[in-house]
Amino acid sequence: MLARPFHAILALALPPRCAGCGMPVAEDHRFCVSCWSALRFLGPPWCGGCNLPFAFDRGDGVLCGPCLADPPRHAGVRAAVAYGPVARSLALRLKYGGRIAFAETMARQMVRLMPDGADLLVPVPLHRWRIWTRGFNQAALIADALRRLSTVPHDRDALIRTRRTAPLRNLGGRQRAKMVAGAFAIAAGGRDRLRDKAIVLVDDVYTSGATADACTRVLLKGGAASVTILCWTRVLSTTDD
């Protein structure tokens, strides 16, 4: 009984804040009207190969030009929102600002895109040195929140990063692919946990796809039946429609 007055006082002193700008809102993990309106939520209609959003419905299974020319190994890239100022702010404050509660904020918007038949959540791994310096892997935090929201199991140890790579910011797609080539591997005992599973690879930001492609290649080689990428935000070019 004493806990209720305490929580009421705490809510008055520290009210829930908008995840985008910090303005007081009704509940945790919510956005104010302005920040909510600034988010571009993604979903169908989209490319049947990579889930690139289409401006209009072109029919089930229709592929975009890049997927027709070079079909992806993965089973699609499902992003909650398009990359923009608010989406970027959340990603940066989670990754570099230690705002770990934002992992659940992101997961709440991502869970609607969880593919049917998903067997296992696998986060994009960080190298152990980066985890020690940062204190956490943001993709693993998001995956754990998705596990709680969806009941799909989470295995944060099946896929590992075998070497450190320089930050990929400001690098082109080919440079990014070269940087992460050979940087991932299946952990000892991981093949048994991945074999014939429909894997959901979890990350915060999808930019060029170099990291996700490298992880997908290793997961499929390790016995996974399929790999779908699920992320908070995806960088879209001005010609994506």
List, for residues 168-212, the tens digit of each pLDDT value: 565 556 666 666 667 789 999 899 999 999 999 999 999 988 899
E strand map for the chain: 77-82, 120-123, 159-161, 184-186, 198-206, 226-234
Alpha-carbon dihedral 12, 14, 16, 17, rounded to 10 degrees? 130
List, for residues 64-96, the tens digit of each pLDDT value: 999 999 999 999 999 999 999 999 999 999 999
What would the two tokens of residue 24 be? Answer: 């007081």
* Confidence at residue 225, expressed as pLDDT on a 0 to 100 scale: 98
List, for residues 92-147, the tens digit of each pLDDT value: 999 999 899 999 999 999 999 999 999 999 999 988 877 788 889 999 999 999 99
List, for residues 6-37, the tens digit of each pLDDT value: 444 444 457 899 999 989 999 999 999 999 99
Share of the chain above pLDDT 90, in %: 73
**Cα–Cα distances in angstroms (integers) from residue 173 to residues 96, 105, 124, 189, in the given order:** 23, 29, 18, 32
Rg of the chain's alpha carbons, rounded to an integer? Answer: 19
In CATH, the number for domain 40-234 is 3.40.50.2020
Residues 6+ apart with CB under 8 A from 234: 42, 77, 79, 81, 82, 83, 205, 206
What would the two tokens of residue 154 be? Answer: 């989470």
CATH 3.40.50.2020 residue ranges for the chain: 40-234
What would the two tokens of residue 87 be? Answer: 């989406």
Alpha helical stretches, state H, 151-199:
173-180, 190-194
pLDDT bin (cut points 50, 70, 90) of residue 238 is very low
Distance CA 84, CA 152 (A): 29
* Confidence at residue 179, expressed as pLDDT on a 0 to 100 scale: 65
The predicted model scores a pTM of: 0.88
Quote the mean pLDDT of the chain.
88
Residue 189, amino acid? G
Distance CA 161, CA 227 (A): 17
Average pLDDT over residues 151-155: 96
